[in-house]
């Protein structure tokens, strides 16, 4: 499936972001809590950690859009966002990701001008903090989500061999007689 086509640029950007979110949700479909924490590749990333991190990222960009300052311990929060800690679950991370996505869609969807400037703090990782626009922020969210969706595909395939097409078919309830056989847990 592809992101739906829209006439307005803003709607298209939000549709592409949601399409990539869906790829992440499909990658974690059917996982156990133990699998969500496993790091089967050399990167040290887990699927649960990626979901948690993406929720953290969307929340942070919404805060910037709405003029909220970053937390004083933002670097610690950023680093902690990459893994599920004791007491955190994949289900809770998915709920937080869904809430962050709904907030992103509402906040960015209400913007009238994609060229509106949104100043960023003067950090070395922002290319030109004074020239950041709403469009740039959305493009960054799409890029970041797509990058991590790719990570999620590799991690998932390393865990149990499940691939994106069959996972999507299973998550969306496609018929088994189609051109892709929906994923089923082993055993």
Q: What is the pLDDT of residue 86?
A: 94
Residue 83: give the domain boundaries.
Answer: 9-171
**Residue 162 in domain:** yes
Residue 4 has pLDDT above 80, yes or no: no
| Burial class, 66, CB count within 10 angstroms (exposed 0-12 / middle 13-18 / buried 19+) | exposed
**Residue 186 in domain:** no
**Residue 4 in domain:** no
Q: How confident is the model at residue 113 (pLDDT cuts 50, 70, 90)?
A: very high
> Cα 41–95–103 angle (5° rounding)?
110
**Residue 136 in domain:** yes
CATH number of domain containing 132? 1.20.120.450
pLDDT tens column, 38-92: 999 999 999 999 999 999 999 999 999 999 877 777 788 888 899 999 999 999 9
**Residue 140 in domain:** yes
- Cα–chain center distance at 82: 12
pTM of the model: 0.93
Mean pLDDT value across the chain: 93
Cβ neighbours for 170, distance < 8 A, ≥ 6 positions apart: 29, 30, 182, 183, 184
Beta bridge partners, 133, equal 117
Give 125 or 10, the one with higher predicted confidence.
10
**Residue 177 in domain:** no
Count of structural domains within the chain: 1
**Residue 1 in domain:** no
Give 63 or 186, the one with higher predicted confidence.
63
Residue 101 has pLDDT above 90, yes or no: yes
State how far the Cα of 125 lies from the Cα of 132, in Å rounded to an integer.
Answer: 13
State how far the Cα of 78 lies from the Cα of 9, in Å rounded to an integer.
Answer: 30
């Amino acid at each position: 499936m592809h992101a739906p086509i829209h006439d307005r640029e803003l709607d298209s950007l939000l549709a592409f972001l949601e399409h990539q979110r869906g790829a992440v949700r499909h990658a974690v479909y059917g996982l156990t809590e133990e699998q969500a924490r496993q790091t089967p590749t050399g990167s040290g990333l887990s699927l649960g950690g990626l979901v948690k991190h993406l929720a953290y990222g969307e929340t942070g960009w919404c805060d910037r859009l709405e003029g909220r300052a970053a937390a004083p311990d933002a670097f610690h929060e950023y680093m902690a966002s990459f893994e599920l800690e004791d007491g955190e679950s994949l289900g809770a991370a998915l709920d937080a990701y869904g809430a962050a996505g709904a907030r992103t869609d509402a906040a960015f969807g209400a913007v009238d001008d994609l060229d509106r400037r949104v100043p960023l703090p003067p950090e070395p990782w922002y290319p030109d903090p004074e020239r950041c626009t709403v469009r740039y922020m959305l493009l960054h969210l799409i890029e970041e989500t797509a990058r991590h969706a790719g990570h999620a595909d590799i991690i998932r395939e390393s865990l149990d061999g499940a691939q994106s097409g069959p996972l999507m078919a299973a998550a969306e309830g496609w018929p088994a007689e189609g051109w892709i056989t929906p994923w089923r847990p082993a055993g």
